[in-house]
């Protein structure tokens, strides 16, 4: 039995996994539809690209929570690492794009020498 399986063997981890699944569904839906404020969401009409990217980041965060919760509930170590790895990369990329867009693209242009 490895460390991952010994962690899963405890009973309280099922409650944590279910809480992660519920939080993941809420974040996923918020990323798609924008939540109560309807300010940013991937599927909302008539919003800018920055708000869509913020919705995408929320949606990916929800998918990470869903993946981790499912991995803990079903004792799938590969899904745990896959959800964390892909989620980390996608959230890092989208956060970088959002930061650049918020700055107005300053520092991304090359000046002629």
pTM of full prediction above 0.85: no
* Cα 19 to Cα 25, 72, 76, 110, distances in angstroms: 10, 11, 17, 47
DSSP string, 40-93: S-TT-SS--HHHHHHHHHHHHHHHHHHHHHHHHHHT-HHHHHHHHHHHHHHHHH
Rounded Cα distance between 111 and 113, Å, is 6
- If pLDDT is split at 50, 70 and 90, which confidence band does 64 have? very high
**Confidence check: pLDDT of 9 > 70:** no
Residue of higher predicted confidence among 7 and 69: 69
pLDDT given for residue 112 in this prediction: 53
Place of tokens 């519920």: 22
pLDDT given for residue 7 in this prediction: 62
**Confidence check: pLDDT of 21 > 70:** yes
Neighbours of 8 (CB within 10 A): 20
pLDDT given for residue 50 in this prediction: 87
**Confidence check: pLDDT of 107 > 90:** no
């Amino acid at each position: 039995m490895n460390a991952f399986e010994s962690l899963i063997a405890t009973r309280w981890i099922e409650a944590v996994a279910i809480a992660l699944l519920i939080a993941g569904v809420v974040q996923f839906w918020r990323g798609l539809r924008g939540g109560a404020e309807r300010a940013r969401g991937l599927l909302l009409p008539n919003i800018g690209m920055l708000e869509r990217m913020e919705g995408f980041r929320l949606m990916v965060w929800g998918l990470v929570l869903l993946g981790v919760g499912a991995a803990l509930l079903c004792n799938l170590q590969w899904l745990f690492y896959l959800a964390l790895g892909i989620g980390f990369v996608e959230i890092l990329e989208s956060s970088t794009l959002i930061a650049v867009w918020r700055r107005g693209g300053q520092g991304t242009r090359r000046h002629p020498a």
